[in-house]
Amino acid sequence: MKYFLPDSQDLVDPSFDFQRETRDPARIRHQDDYYAHEVFKQQGRAFDGVLVSKAIVEGTGSTSQAKYTQAQQRRILREGVKEFLRLNDHPWGRIECMGDCGAFTYVNEDTPPFSVDDVVNFYVRCGFDYGFSVDHVIVEYKPQWDTDLFGDGVPPSVRARQALTLNLAAEFLTTHRRSKLAFTPIGIAQGWSPASYAHAFAALQKIGYRYIALGGMVSLKTQDILSCLKAISTVRLPETRIHLLGVTRFAHLPTFASLGVWSIDSTSPLRQAFMDDKDNYHTLERTYTAIRVPQVQGNFRLEARIRSGELDYDKTRKAEQLCLRRLEEYDASGRSLVTVLKALRTYEEIHDPERNRTESARLVLEDSPWKKCPCAVCKQLRHHVILFRGAERNRRRGFHNVAIFYQRLRMLKAPSEASPEVQEPPHAVAPAPLSA
């Protein structure tokens, strides 16, 4: 199974000094900063490819702002996605690129803001290896609509989104074939139930697609995804590959693979580093909670409390700096764990008095997993990788998580070798029959 990392302009500054919290004032962000594949350039592969959304690059007008500057937009169209992302001549070898529309950015619009020609032109000019058809997300998942005893329970607007997505997919494939384009076309199936996903999948195969993505599944429960995949398996041709958009569900990937899933994309491993409450640092065996040592300077909440007089600046700053010194000393084996935990607790009573993370801090410090990890992030940052503190640390920890996720993905057993609970999760929902 291939793993594609979505691009969201996640870069780190190699000039950042973690002791002084400073950076090179002459640094130019995109020119000097590193992508994940550059951080891990001299070690094993951390993903198979990159997914780039047109909406991320160019925005969608009134509904979404681009994350690329106008200069970057011009350059990616001029140089191509692989030159822009510095993927060419990489020690890993070939790093593939997928292009998509970023349908969740315009989910509230009546119709997609891009035409098929707009999207095809973007894919061609950027030189993508794969291109997704234009789609319109169905956010509702209501299998009960298919069994409404009082008539058609599916709202017309929902059926219209599926029909529009299929029509755009047909136009996309016609354009691709007529122009003999180089990228591999991927149709997108949208649905509201196992039966409706299977219906869309069958329609896309009839159109001519042999690589089909399932969209709108990010918020679904794992059992619902499995139900959809099982329904799709009743109509899927052996040669048709499946891509799951934005979905991982690691423990169930062997089952997904057995049902035809050939590739996935997700930023979850990266985002968990700074958006999850507990599972911030990943290892091959388990996850750990990062240690919160928020910056006093530049932290909106702390600065607001200091300005209001609720907190004393000098006392808060001293508590913060003491934590950093004690952690540095502990990592160098010169300070007892009890002393470090005391400093952390004192500062936490200031910056987050409603919480007590002492036990999670004790666990990660006792294990010191960064000392066992050979990745470039852990070797450079040492204990700084476990600190929940600013984008430079948090994003590097996310890069580490991506590399660990990929290692775990490569270690997965084949479906026939997987444990029974992974092959067939309890309480699986039987797929509904394919509707006409």
pLDDT, averaged in runs of 10, over the chain (436 residues): 95 95 92 96 94 93 78 96 97 97 92 95 98 96 82 88 98 98 98 97 98 96 97 98 95 95 96 96 97 92 94 96 96 89 97 96 97 96 96 97 96 54 30 29
User: What residue ranges do the domains of the chain occupy?
Assistant: 2-274, 277-400
| pLDDT score of 435 | 30
| pLDDT score of 77 | 96
Compute the distance between CA of residue 9 and CA of residue 88 in angstroms, rounded to an integer. Answer: 18
CA distances from 84 to 15, 47, 57, 77 (A): 21, 18, 12, 9
Catalytic residue among 48, 100, 129, 135: 100
**Sequence-distant (≥ 6) Cβ neighbours of residue 344 within 8 angstroms:** 291, 293, 323, 326, 357, 358, 361
Instruction: Please say if 24 is a catalytic residue.
Output: no
Compute the distance between CA of residue 361 and CA of residue 293 in angstroms, rounded to an integer. Answer: 11
| pLDDT score of 151 | 55
| Number of residues in the chain | 436
Nearest Cα neighbor of 432 from 260, 295, 277, 227 is 227
Residue-wise burial string across 274-285, b where 16 or more C-beta atoms lie within 10 A, e elsewhere: beeeebbbbbee
Nearest Cα neighbor of 402 from 85, 38, 13 is 38
**Sequence-distant (≥ 6) Cβ neighbours of residue 32 within 8 angstroms:** 13, 14, 15, 24
Whether pTM exceeds 0.75: yes
Compute the distance between CA of residue 78 and CA of residue 98 in angstroms, rounded to an integer. Answer: 17
Compute the distance between CA of residue 282 and CA of residue 194 in angstroms, rounded to an integer. Answer: 33
- In this structure, whether the domain defined by 2-274 belongs to CATH 3.20.20.105 is answered with yes
Instruction: Please say if 277 is a catalytic residue.
Output: no
End-to-end CA distance of the chain: 32
Q: Are 317 and 296 in contact (CB under 8 A)?
A: yes
| pLDDT score of 414 | 52
Amino acid letter at 88? N
Q: Are 1 and 409 in contact (CB under 8 A)?
A: yes
Region label for 246, one of left (φ > 0), alpha (ψ between -120 and 50) or beta (otherwise): left
| pLDDT score of 149 | 54
| pLDDT score of 62 | 58
Strands (E), 101-183: 130-132
**Structure tokens that stand for 406 in this block:** 């990929």
Compute the distance between CA of residue 130 and CA of residue 124 in angstroms, rounded to an integer. Answer: 10
Catalytic residue among 10, 33, 48, 265: 265
